[in-house]
């Protein structure tokens, strides 16, 4: 397992959603372009220098939004194109560029191995998180739940939330009681054996002061780091001010959940159609945002333009939407100058839509 690659991918994944939901760099737009009628989606994909087409609103199907459609789908009268762009007036189709993408390397994706994940803390919708893990993790994985909620009460809360524990096949729930900020409690766990750890704020308790919250947060991170330098550490943060206080910690990533939810609501308020897009991307089935290593698309140090990579992604039934270069912190969504050729590394990662 390449821990650095996975950590980079997780960071990139969060930055993708911050960009798309944050109204700053890239967001979803749906618009009708009559000049595209008669074109196949594979040509529409590279027709926008300043946007990434990623779906079609099909007029003949009651306006259903088809994410990541088949390459052979032909745009018909009334169809609209879903794109990721900077703003609704910053993009338009142009002449189809000449692109010689070539073939993807004959690289087989590594098999998934069972994972051991630690959740510290509790939240009301943790049953939904468990279902997502059940759908994405391979058979034999374990989810350790470490918090102060008594085991019998946990089972009741999970059942009341709609989770049927007996139907979990891929993951096994392991319950432990304790406080994640008390050292002796953490030391009772086999911390060095976990592939990843996530700290969840207990949303049913009274809010604590920022200073106390940051102290307990940093304390938890320090204990996890001392236990294993191979574990991926992710933390959920409710107060955006805490982000600055924990940014100096060697943490794989953090999730500002309240901020992301607010961003999503704001985007849906601007265009209600986008709600259907977000519902599918966050659901257990259908298309989702994924991160993949560059070796699946190109050879190390190969020189390609971004259009080349987009078309190679279509060979894998994906819509490539951006990338993050090795040893950089910035994720590039909907890059400009898509025709510009550059040299790529196997340490780069790409973000895409995949079914």
Long-range contacts of 123-129 (CB under 8 A, 24+ apart): 123/200, 123/201, 123/202, 123/203, 123/236, 124/157, 124/161, 124/203, 124/204, 125/161, 126/157, 126/158, 126/161, 126/200, 127/157, 127/158, 127/161, 127/162, 127/163, 128/161
- What the block records as the tokens of 252 is 């794989």
For the residues 201-230, what does the mean pLDDT come to?
A: 48
Helix axes 257-270, 3-21, angle to 10 degrees: 40
pLDDT tops 90 at residue 236: no
For the residues 87-92, what does the mean pLDDT come to?
A: 93
Could you give the CA distance from residue 195 to residue 187 in angstroms, rounded to a whole number? 17
- What the block records as the tokens of 237 is 């943060």
When pLDDT is cut at 50, 70 and 90, the band that residue 234 belongs to is low
When pLDDT is cut at 50, 70 and 90, the band that residue 345 belongs to is very high
DSSP 8-state assignment for residue 68 = S
Looking at per-residue pLDDT, the higher value among 39 and 199 belongs to 39
Looking at per-residue pLDDT, the higher value among 125 and 165 belongs to 165
pLDDT tops 80 at residue 315: yes
Could you give the CA distance from residue 80 to residue 133 in angstroms, rounded to a whole number? 34
When pLDDT is cut at 50, 70 and 90, the band that residue 38 belongs to is very high
92, 101, 107: which is closest to 306 by C-alpha?
101
pTM (2 d.p.): 0.74
pLDDT tops 90 at residue 261: no
Strands 332-333 and 318-324: antiparallel
């Amino acid at each position: 397992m390449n821990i650095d690659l996975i950590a980079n991918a997780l960071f990139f994944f969060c930055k993708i959603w911050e960009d798309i939901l944050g109204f700053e760099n890239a967001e979803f737009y749906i618009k009708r372009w009559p000049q595209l009628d008669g074109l196949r989606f594979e040509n529409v994909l590279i027709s926008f220098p300043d946007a990434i087409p990623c779906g079609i609103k099909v007029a003949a199907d009651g306006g259903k939004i088809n994410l990541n459609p088949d390459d052979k789908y032909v745009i018909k009268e009334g169809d609209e194109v879903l794109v990721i762009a900077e703003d609704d007036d910053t993009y338009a189709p142009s002449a189809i560029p000449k692109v010689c993408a070539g073939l993807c390397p004959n690289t087989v994706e590594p098999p998934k191995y069972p994972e051991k994940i630690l959740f510290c803390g509790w939240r009301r919708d943790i049953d939904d998180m468990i279902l997502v893990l059940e759908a994405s993790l391979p058979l034999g994985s374990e989810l350790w739940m470490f918090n102060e909620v008594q085991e019998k009460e946990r089972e009741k809360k999970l059942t009341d939330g709609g989770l049927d524990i007996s139907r979990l096949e891929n993951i096994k729930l392991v319950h432990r009681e304790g406080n994640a900020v008390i050292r002796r409690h953490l030391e009772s766990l086999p911390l060095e054996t976990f592939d990843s750890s996530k700290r969840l704020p207990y949303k049913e308790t009274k809010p604590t002061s920022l200073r106390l919250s940051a102290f307990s947060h940093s304390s938890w991170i320090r204990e996890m780091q001392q236990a294993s330098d191979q574990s991926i550490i992710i933390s959920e943060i409710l107060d955006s001010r805490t982000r600055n206080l924990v940014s100096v910690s060697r943490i794989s990533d953090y999730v500002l959940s309240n901020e992301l939810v607010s961003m999503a609501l704001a985007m849906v308020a601007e265009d209600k159609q986008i709600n259907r897009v977000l519902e599918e991307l966050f659901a257990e089935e259908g298309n989702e945002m994924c991160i993949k290593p560059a070796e699946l698309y190109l050879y190390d140090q190969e020189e390609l333009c971004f259009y080349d990579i987009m078309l190679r992604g279509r060979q894998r039934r994906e819509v490539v939407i951006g990338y993050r270069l090795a040893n950089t912190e910035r994720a590039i969504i909907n890059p400009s100058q898509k025709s510009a050729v550059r040299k790529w590394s196997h340490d780069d990662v790409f973000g895409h839509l995949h079914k």
